[in-house]
Amino acid sequence: MRTAIVSSMLAVMRKELRDISRDRLTLALVLLMGPLLYPVLMLGMGALAEKRASTQLDEVLEVPVVGVEHAPNLIAFLATHGIEATAPPDDLDALIAAQDVDVALEIEPDFAADWHAGRPATVLVVHDSTRRNAEIPVKRVRAALEGYGSQVGMLRLMARGIDPAVTRPVSLGTRDVATVEAKRGVLLSFILPYLLILTSFLGGAYLILDATAGERERQSLEPLLATPATRGSIVIVRPRDAVAARSAAMATSETSIASTV
């Protein structure tokens, strides 16, 4: 019994594979769209993202600054890090929401008074956290501001006769021996499982579509549905019923052709 079911299933599978092998368009879609096109698209998008990131890191970053007159030393420090302060527009928040401006700064009016009094001076970084394109400009601005704060803090300690090193009991460094190719491999290993699942489903979709729509194109679907076989057995392709249904369909079509002749 089990042997008969397996043999029937293999017969149906051989028939479907034979039909699929005759359709070159389906084979091209299965072999090109799944294994080749989607990995090329993923690698291409990764290369474009890497190129965009390197461009944003190297170019001069223009940042609208509100209250630039309150912190001239800070503006000069930012200029040494490739961040150029520009005049703020009238509606800064609206332009950031419309994605016309990546990041902006707001310097509080009390910045100079707090700075001279040794109190923390407030600088606001204005940006849209949902924008992926603005991540690198925001990080550049934050890193420059943190560097300015660290430098001013050390100078204040030195002015009071205190060694700034006392605030750093541990000096933490990093030595990364990973190559660029290895780092790319880590990224690829992260997306590869999802890519394989996606391509397997998308590549097999063309085979399933051909197994259903192909029956109609080959004009064998209507005779198959006209057989006494149940619709469920045809849909789920139960081996014995499917083979019998196909045999009956082919016999019916041959009989109708012979009677017409």
Does residue 249 surpass a pLDDT of 50? Answer: no
The CATH code that applies to domain 60-168 is 3.40.1710.10
Residue 18 pLDDT greater than 50, yes or no: yes
Looking at per-residue confidence, does 44 or 252 come out higher? 44
Q: What is the pLDDT of residue 34?
A: 63
Report, as an integer, the average pLDDT of 11-24: 68
Per-residue confidence (pLDDT) for residue 242, from 0 to 100: 42
pLDDT digits (tens, 9 = 90+) for 119-170: 889 999 999 988 888 888 899 999 999 999 988 888 888 888 888 888 778 8
Single out the residue of 120, 126, 154 nearest to residue 142, CA to CA: 126
- In this predicted structure, what is the pLDDT of residue 191? 72
**Token code pair at residue 116:** 């001279």
Q: Report the amino acid identity of residue 42.
A: M
pLDDT tens digits for 118-132? 888 999 999 998 888
Looking at per-residue pLDDT, the higher value among 224 and 59 belongs to 59
CA count, 13 A, side-chain hemisphere, 52: 12
- Rounded CA separation 85/72 (Å): 10
Alpha helices in 59-117 (DSSP H): 72-80, 92-97, 111-117
What's the chain's average pLDDT? 75
The distance in angstroms from the start CA to the end CA of the chain is 40
Note the pTM of the prediction, 2 decimals: 0.56
Q: Report domain extents, the chain.
A: 2-50+182-260, 60-168
The residue among 119, 93, 120 whose CA lies nearest residue 106 is 93
